[in-house]
Structure 1
Amino acid sequence: MSTLLLRLAGPLQAWGDSSRFTRRETRSEPTKSGVLGLIAAAQGRPRTDSIVDLLGLRFGVRIDQPGRILRDFQTAHRSSDGAVMPLSTRFYLADAAFLAGVEGEPELVAGLAESLRRPTFPLYLGRRSCPAPPDLFQGVVADDLVSALSTFRWVASRWHRRRMGSTVRLPIVIDDDGSAPGDRLTARDVPASFAPERREYVWRDVVRLEQLATLPNDLARDDGDDYFTVVASA
């Protein structure tokens, strides 16, 4: 198996899995549907195309910089007649950074990597108002998903790294195959169809790993423990 790694970081990102009508939520970490949609856009797939080959990829996220929830109110006018549309509430993640990985057969992963190096369509972090960073693609490693997320370098922003201690402990959330201890939950973020007239999502099992990724911080502050160390030992 090989694992493709992505740095999902920016001023704003949004990863909704339960949005309804005028209230548009975001999860606290990237969704599988959002990342697979980003990959499909890099490949140039129309929304109506099948994505069955992508659904077998094992997905995981390391929370390198948790960010904060931001709420925004938006208004809009219909272009055809100028009618005022309902006020909507949209939630975003501000100043967050994640290392996302997809694991699959080496040949498939290599093809995805080539598409991400030269994407066909513009890439976004969940919504069109949230462009992907220039260093989105972080490469492919010949390792399984958990090992890749546990050992790859810390991808938080420099200003965030300067605030933290010499060692950081980072949470990892992955597709659950029943082999790793941790907190188990479900998420409805596996895309059955991206077709605009009928988007469909199904459930997946997720595990928040008991073991955190422990990494060095070369821009560490001089005093005290970092946030993740304090939280993990509380």
Structure 2
Amino acid sequence: MSVLLLHLAGPLQAWGDASRFTRRSTRTEPTKSGVIGLLAAAEGRRRTDAIEDLAGLEFGVRVDQRGRIERDFHTAIRRTGTRLDPMPLSHRYYLTDAVFVAAVAGDRMLLEGLHEAVRAPRFPLYLGRRSCVPTGEISMGVHEGDLDQVLREVEWQAAAWYRRQQGENVYLELVLDGDATAPLAETQRDVPVSFDPVRREYGWRSVVRPQPVIVSNPEGRAEPDFFAAYGGA
């Protein structure tokens, strides 16, 4: 199997899968629908274009640098002729300073095309919302292996300042497409059927969280030995 890896980092990210009305929430990791939207934009697909080939790709995420959730109190005014009409107030939530490695798996030819598209996108790319601009190169290339294996083997992508704040061993969470019958499987309405503004549709996907990836962190803080005060007893 072929796997395309994506480096998703930026000052702000927002990955909502249940945002409605005046409350725009975000998940703590990228959504499949959000990443598929990014890939479709890179290829220059319009919102009314078919996306079945992209939605059918296997999807997974590794959390390399966990962000903080911040709330933005959002106001807006709409001009109607000479009149100014206030829009409903809204609360919008974002992830700050997060870094993820996302992966899509499937046909190599399709993934190689996506890799080239992400490197030279037709439309601007963003991390969930238009205000969330990515930093650095997004595509990390196409790799061979199953999705879980490739995500476990890729180098840790966290920033140096973040590494210094962690311990000597760091646990990187994995969130993968999974079988609905698997123990502790979650269900999310996160498979894009259509991005058409007139009728956006999303299907359900099952998500599993396997054993995290454990990475050695030489720059991290030494963990205290709570037994030292008792003479090692």
TM-score, shorter chain, exceeding 0.5? yes
Q: Letter of the aligned partner of 1:85 in structure 2?
A: M
| 1:207 is the counterpart of 2:208 | yes
**Contact in 1 for aligned 2:168/2:223 (Cα 8 Å):** no
Q: Letter of the aligned partner of 1:21 in structure 2?
A: F
Deviations 1:102-150 (A, max 9, x none): 0011111111111111111110000011011222111111111100111
Give structure 1 stretches of 5+ with no counterpart. Answer: 226-234
The 3 A distance-change label for structure 1 pair 158 and 135 is: farther
Runs ≥4 in structure 1, deviation > 4 angstroms? Answer: none
The 3 A distance-change label for structure 1 pair 178 and 185 is: closer
- State which of 104, 125, 136 in structure 1 corresponds to 2:138: 136
**Partners of 1:79 and 1:141 in 2: how far apart?**
50
Give structure 2 stretches of 5+ with no counterpart. Answer: 225-233
**Contact in 2 for aligned 1:182/1:208 (Cα 8 Å):** no
SS in 1 for 2:191: strand
**Contact in 2 for aligned 1:42/1:115 (Cα 8 Å):** yes
Aligned to 2:199: 198
SS in 1 for 2:34: helix
SS in 2 for 1:110: helix
- State which of 82, 102, 105 in structure 2 corresponds to 1:103: 105
**Contact in 1 for aligned 2:119/2:138 (Cα 8 Å):** no
Q: In the TM superposition, what are the counterparts of 1:117-196 in structure 2 within 5 Å?
A: 117-177=119-179, 183-196=184-197
**Partners of 1:11 and 1:94 in 2: how far apart?**
5
When Rg is computed on C-alpha atoms for both structures, the one with the higher figure is: 2
Q: Letter of the aligned partner of 2:138 in structure 1?
A: L
The 3 A distance-change label for structure 1 pair 188 and 178 is: closer
Q: Letter of the aligned partner of 1:194 in structure 2?
A: F
Q: Letter of the aligned partner of 1:105 in structure 2?
A: D
**Partners of 2:68 and 2:89 in 1: how far apart?**
23
Q: Which moved more, 1:71-80 or 1:8-17?
A: 71-80
| 1:112 is the counterpart of 2:114 | yes
Q: In the TM superposition, what are the counterparts of 1:17-36 in structure 2 within 5 Å?
A: 17-36=17-36
Q: Letter of the aligned partner of 1:147 in structure 2?
A: Q
Q: Alignment RMSD, CA only?
A: 1.6
Normalized against structure 1, the TM-score is what? 0.90
Normalized against structure 2, the TM-score is what? 0.90
Deviations 1:199-234 (A, max 9, x none): 11111111011x21122335x134228xxxxxxxxx
Identity %: 56
The 3 A distance-change label for structure 1 pair 178 and 150 is: farther
**Contact in 1 for aligned 2:4/2:103 (Cα 8 Å):** yes
Q: Letter of the aligned partner of 1:190 in structure 2?
A: V
